[in-house]
Amino acid sequence: MAGYTELKREAYEANVALPKHGLINLTFGNASAIDRAKVVFAIKPSGVDYDALKPDDMVVVDLDGRVVEGRLNPSSDTPTHRRLFLAFPEIGGVVHTHSSHATAFAQAGIPIPIFGTTHADYFNGEVPVTRKMTPEEIASAYEWETGAVIVERLQGLDPADFPGVLVNRHAPFAWGPSVAKAVETAVAMECIAHMALMSLQLNPDLAPIEKPLLMKHFKRKHGPGAYYGQKAAG
Amino acid sequence: MAGYTELKREAYEANVALPKHGLINLTFGNASAIDRAKVVFAIKPSGVDYDALKPDDMVVVDLDGRVVEGRLNPSSDTPTHRRLFLAFPEIGGVVHTHSSHATAFAQAGIPIPIFGTTHADYFNGEVPVTRKMTPEEIASAYEWETGAVIVERLQGLDPADFPGVLVNRHAPFAWGPSVAKAVETAVAMECIAHMALMSLQLNPDLAPIEKPLLMKHFKRKHGPGAYYGQKAAG
Amino acid sequence: MAGYTELKREAYEANVALPKHGLINLTFGNASAIDRAKVVFAIKPSGVDYDALKPDDMVVVDLDGRVVEGRLNPSSDTPTHRRLFLAFPEIGGVVHTHSSHATAFAQAGIPIPIFGTTHADYFNGEVPVTRKMTPEEIASAYEWETGAVIVERLQGLDPADFPGVLVNRHAPFAWGPSVAKAVETAVAMECIAHMALMSLQLNPDLAPIEKPLLMKHFKRKHGPGAYYGQKAAG
Amino acid sequence: MAGYTELKREAYEANVALPKHGLINLTFGNASAIDRAKVVFAIKPSGVDYDALKPDDMVVVDLDGRVVEGRLNPSSDTPTHRRLFLAFPEIGGVVHTHSSHATAFAQAGIPIPIFGTTHADYFNGEVPVTRKMTPEEIASAYEWETGAVIVERLQGLDPADFPGVLVNRHAPFAWGPSVAKAVETAVAMECIAHMALMSLQLNPDLAPIEKPLLMKHFKRKHGPGAYYGQKAAG
């Protein structure tokens, strides 16, 4: 089982990055990293303080939801992470927070409108919001069904174009090729939610960013034509 | 009197946690912990800077309001704490802050509406607000009467379902099975007040969270069916 | 001139407390302490970074505005401080900041309304705002005239009941029996401005706090009947 | 090439000052310093974390856009900086951030109105906003054209009177005689955007600051009659 050391460290680093970025209210929030070869993911234990967290506290779970390694209960949101890993085979990590500004949009059931280039650097459009869950979904396997409404909302969209979502009445989820990138997207969601709220105060009828500028910025960072960062540096 | 060392440490830890969580403006705020067997509680001294506070500065008071141990004046809000300890036999600690966002609701005399699951994890409904105090109540035993309007507002409600309240024109109070849990609730009240304020900006007519989702989240953390955290971990 | 060491230290401590309390934007802000026996006050030098400030950098000025001790230019706002020390013989210190929320009210020329007990613990009513200065006042001895409009606004009010003011289009000034107390009032002004702004968002027509509660809280901390803090402790 | 050590250090100091002042969201933001004699400027490398940045990571670029020294890709915004250095021969540094409040105005395409003296200490009027870029400008040399719309907006204005601008749908740029001064202006833009937003909440129809007071404050700090700071100290 020594094979999970690196995976647990990756999940641990992402989890402790969340309070460092100011994304955690109370103990809400969790991050997970998947090893696609071994078909397991490492996730935060439930209700443990971030201060006390150690890499070895991470719980390793398989895609059927069975604990493979770990002494603690996995996060109660584990089935949501599992549902996303099953539906989006290209993602390597999932992050859930209750960050204040993004959660304010989620609670109101309102997508984060795309007003500027900061947003367009991360999302290829507004940040989507799920439909409300039915009483039946809530009464049954609630956390699994939370994942299911996210997957339903992403239907027809590329999870690389829309690397996060607001769960209605609840809070944001983010994902990405790695859990570290999912953390960055969670930071971006909080930041663009804050700025959108203020832009809306300045102009409640503000139109979304114009398409050519949106595409320019999104593609500056994503896909074959990307030229931001050091990847192409000589 | 060595028997109060642990109680004073518990109250001390809660008091110094308040500025750490950003709940203290100026020197406003105090926390107390009760020992139900010895029928005394330990509380912060009045108007002392948090930086300078030591465990031994805590003042031990009995339920008739007599100082049992301590060199300093107890908090001027001591009679409010005493009133709550008398009325709610199941609570182990009380916390009072002037945290900014919760106080903004209290000043306006408006309950914190329950818009999302973050709120539902702590309160079984909106955060109640007391009626305004009468000139007579203010002129007589003001701090004791502050406790009395809180108790009046909680009539018919379970203090475990509603572990905090906004005192009209004043500020929030929180309680819980331990003073540490009351601190956590005070953090939650500030956080949900902030998010509610922003959700209201997005939609001034936003309806409260749907009942099944409220019940699901509240019960995930409270009562016999609770499954959040490590309590049931093997 | 060794007699100014203590006065300069007092002014220094107050000046460096300002950024510690988050009251300073850029390098705006200054604090001064007066020695009524020697009829001089010590004030921050102009445009010096708070990080680099040393007690010995404080400039000692007499009430005619002459530098008595110091190598640096005194704050350009020195004549405003001087005007206040002349008009209010009972005060021992003056603080000026551009703290964000209080300045937002000052810029708008709107008094900070008194909505709750946090405010009533410091001010015996709303935080007053000066009239706008005339082009003549601005063109002549601007900083002295800034002090003059403050004094004009305070006419008929006790500077102990109203220990601060908003200068229209400009920013807050605070004062008190000591410069340390003036710093505390400057902190309170920023805090109550923030909370008032949010209470106004919740209810734009919110009425001020009821008179009996205002008087109760103001007198709990001020005057012969005060019982907050450790002064009366045995 | 040892001649660039000082220039790179100057650019480095400005870049690491940005997160210290809370101006950086994610990795967005960059600062550059020009050596007018050598006709080169030093700028932050693209997409590198501020934590990991070292003075020697700065990339030295000439005014034709050729990298003169450096192992890393220069910031993708380098052509914008270059355009500004070419158009404004009196400036020594350029700063770009996505600071939250200023960006909220930029996204909304709304100038930052000049409501008080804090603003007037830095800008001789409202903070201008560029026109939106055309699809053709976006599709061609996007970052160069970003500089071009800034230059277009500044036409007829003195870059010393208006040391910064909001790029529509995007974010703020600032400049100054040195890059250190440009950083200070970027801090000021964020601060005055925050305060303007709040003043607008208090009074959506608030008129700009009166001309005599604006001129007084701007000239207190700028031009031959300036008397703020230590320049004239004996």
Measured between CB atoms, does D72 come within 8 Å of chain A?
yes
CA-based nearest distance C9→chain B, Å: 21
Cβ contact, residue pair D229, C73, below 8 Å: yes
**The pLDDT of residue A233 is above 70:** no
Chain C contact for B105, CB < 8 A?
yes
Tokens, residue A231: 């990847």
State yes or no: pLDDT of A115 exceeds 90. yes
Rounded CA-CA distance B178/B91 in Å is 7
pLDDT at position D25: 79
Residues of B with active-site annotation: 121, 228
Instruction: Give the D window 159-188 contacts with C, CB below 8 Å.
Output: 184, 187-188
Question: Does B140 contact C at CB distance below 8 Å?
Answer: no
CB atoms D100 and A202 under 8 Å: no
**Cα–Cα distance measured from residue A83 to residue D146, given in angstroms and rounded to the nearest whole number:** 43
Query: B100 and C202: CB-CB below 8 Å?
Result: no
Chain A's closest residue to D200, CA to CA, is: A202
Q: Do B118 and A76 touch (CB under 8 A)?
A: no
Tell me what the mean pLDDT of segment B133-141 comes to.
96
Angle between helices A179-202 and A5-20 (to 10 degrees): 20
Among chain D residues, CA nearest to A221: D47
Q: Decide if D72 and A230 are in contact by the 8 Å CB cutoff.
A: yes
Q: How far apart are CA C134 and CA D125, in angstroms?
A: 19
Mean pLDDT for chain B?
94
Q: Output the CA–CA distances (angstroms, integers) from residue D168 to A1, A188, A210, B185, in the order listed.
A: 54, 20, 11, 42
CA distance B96 to chain C (A): 13
Amino acid at B5: T
Residue numbers in A near D73 (CB within 8 A): 229-230, 232-233
User: pLDDT of C23-54, one tens digit each?
Assistant: 987 878 999 999 999 999 999 999 888 889 99
pLDDT, position B28: 87
Please write the tens of the pLDDT for every residue from C111-146: 999 999 999 999 999 999 999 999 999 999 999 999
As a whole number of angstroms, the distance between CA B121 and CA B117 comes to 6
Please indicate whether, in this complex, the C-beta atoms of D169 and A118 are within 8 angstroms of each other.
no
Distance CA D158, CA A183 (A): 42
The verdict on a CB contact (< 8 Å) between C26 and D202 is no
Contact B227/A76, CB-based, under 8 Å? yes
> How much of chain B, in percent, has pLDDT values that exceed 70?
97
Number of A/D CB contacts below 8 angstroms equals: 88
What is the tens place of the pLDDT at every residue in B14-29?
999 999 999 987 878 9
Instruction: Give the closest of B72, B169, B200 to C233, CB-based.
Output: B72
> What is the arithmetic mean of pLDDT over B111-135?
98
Question: H/E element holding B60?
Answer: strand B59-62
Is residue C104 exposed (0-12), middle (13-18) or buried (19+ Cβ within 10 Å)?
Answer: buried
Inter-chain CB proximity C213 and B108 less than 8 Å: no
Catalytic annotation present for D57: no
B216 contacts A142? CB cut-off 8 A: yes
Instruction: Measure the CA–CA gap between C34 and D94, rounded to whole angstroms.
Output: 43
- A75's CB contacts (< 8 A; 6+ apart) are A30, A32, A43, A44, A45, A46, A59, A81
A100 contacts chain B (CB < 8 A): yes
C108: chain D residues, CB-CB within 8 Å: 115, 199, 202-203, 206
CB A40 within 8 Å of CB A207: no
**Nearest 5°: phi and psi at A171?**
-175, 175
A 4-23 residues inside an 8 A Cβ radius of B: none
Q: Would you call A78 exposed, middle or buried from its count of C-beta atoms within 10 A (0-12, 13-18, 19+)?
A: buried
Per-residue tens of pLDDT for chain D, all 234 residues = 458 999 999 999 999 999 999 998 787 899 999 999 999 999 999 988 888 999 999 999 999 999 999 999 999 999 999 999 999 999 999 999 999 999 999 999 999 999 999 999 999 999 999 999 999 999 999 999 999 999 999 999 999 999 999 999 999 999 999 999 999 999 999 999 999 999 999 999 999 999 999 999 998 878 777 776 775 433
Report the distance separating Cα B231 and Cα B96, nearest Å: 28
Backbone angles phi and psi of A69, in degrees to 5: -155, 140
Interchain CB contact of B47 with C (< 8 Å): yes
The minimum CA-CA distance between A73 and chain D, rounded to whole Å, is 32
Q: Using an 8 Å CB-CB cutoff, list chain C residues near B76.
A: 220, 227-228
Is residue C207 helix, strand or coil?
Answer: coil
Q: How far out from the chain centre does Cα C91 lie? A: 10
**What percentage of chain C has pLDDT greater than the value 90?**
87
Report which of B104, B106, B85, B86 is spatially closest to residue B95, judged by C-alpha positions.
B85
Which residue intervals of D61-210 are DSSP H helices? 78-87, 100-108, 117-120, 135-139, 142-154, 179-202
- pLDDT of residue B233 exceeding 50, the answer is no
In chain D, residues with a C-beta closer than 8 Å to the C-beta of C105 are 199, 202
pLDDT at B131: 98
CB contact under 8 A, C118 and B200: no
The stretch A178-202 carries a mean pLDDT of 98
Q: Which residues in chain A have their CB less than 8 angstroms from residue B233's CB? A: 46, 71-73
| Nearest-angstrom CA–CA distance, D91 and D31 | 13
Q: Would the pLDDT of A163 be above 70? A: yes
The CA–CA distances, whole Å, from B129 to B93, B95, B112, C233 equal 20, 16, 8, 33
Contact C138 D216 (CB under 8 A): yes
CB-based contact, D194 to chain A, within 8 Å: no
pLDDT of C71-81, one tens digit each?
A: 999 999 999 99
Q: What is the 3-state secondary structure (H, E, C) of chain A?
A: CHHHHHHHHHHHHHHHHHHHCCCCCCCCCEEEEEECCCCEEEECECCCCHHHCCHHHCEEEECCCCEEECCCCECCCHHHHHHHHHHCCCCCEEEECCCHHHHHHHHHCCCECCCCHHHHCCCCCCECECCCCCHHHHHCCHHHHHHHHHHHHHCCCCCCCCCEEECCCCCEEEEECCHHHHHHHHHHHHHHHHHHHHHHHHCCCCCCCCHHHHHHHHHHHCCCCCCCCCCCCC
Q: What is the pLDDT of residues B155-187, one digit of tens each?
A: 999 999 999 999 999 999 999 999 999 999 999
Q: Which residues of B touch A46 (CB under 8 A)?
A: 228-230, 233
Alpha carbons B3 and B12: distance in angstroms, whole number? 15
Contacts of B197 in chain C (CB under 8 A): 198, 201-202
Please report which confidence band the pLDDT of residue B2 belongs to, taking 50, 70 and 90 as the band edges. Answer: low
The closest CB to that of C48, out of D118, D210, D230, belongs to: D230
Is B233–A100 a contact, with Cβ atoms under 8 angstroms apart?
Answer: no
User: Residue C1 has what pLDDT?
Assistant: 46
Q: In this structure, what token pair is assigned to residue D131?
A: 């026109």
Give the catalytic positions of C in this structure.
121, 228
Give the Cα separation of D128 and D131 in Å (integer): 10
pTM to 2 decimal places: 0.95
Residues of A in contact with B214 (CB under 8 A): none
Mind listing the pLDDT tens digit for each residue in A66-111? 999 999 999 999 999 999 999 999 999 999 999 999 999 999 999 9
Q: How do beta strands A172-176 and C164-166 pair?
A: unpaired
Instruction: Give the integer Cα–Cα distance in Å for C215 and C117.
Output: 10
Chain A residue with minimal CA distance to D142?
Answer: A216
Task: Identify all chain A residues contacting B230, using CB atoms and an 8 Å cutoff.
Answer: 45-48, 72-73
Residues of chain D contacting residue A195, judged by C-beta atoms under 8 Å apart:
100, 103-104, 107
Q: Is the pLDDT of residue A234 over 60?
A: no
When computed from its CA atoms, the radius of gyration of chain B, rounded to whole angstroms, is: 17
| Average pLDDT of the residues of chain C | 94
d(CA D124, nearest CA chain A) in Å: 22
Identify the pLDDT of residue A232. 42
Q: Give the Cα separation of A94 and A91 in Å (integer).
A: 8
Q: Determine, for residues B187 and A105 on separate chains, whether the beta-carbon distance falls below 8 Å.
A: no
Distance from CA of B228 to the nearest CA of C (A): 33
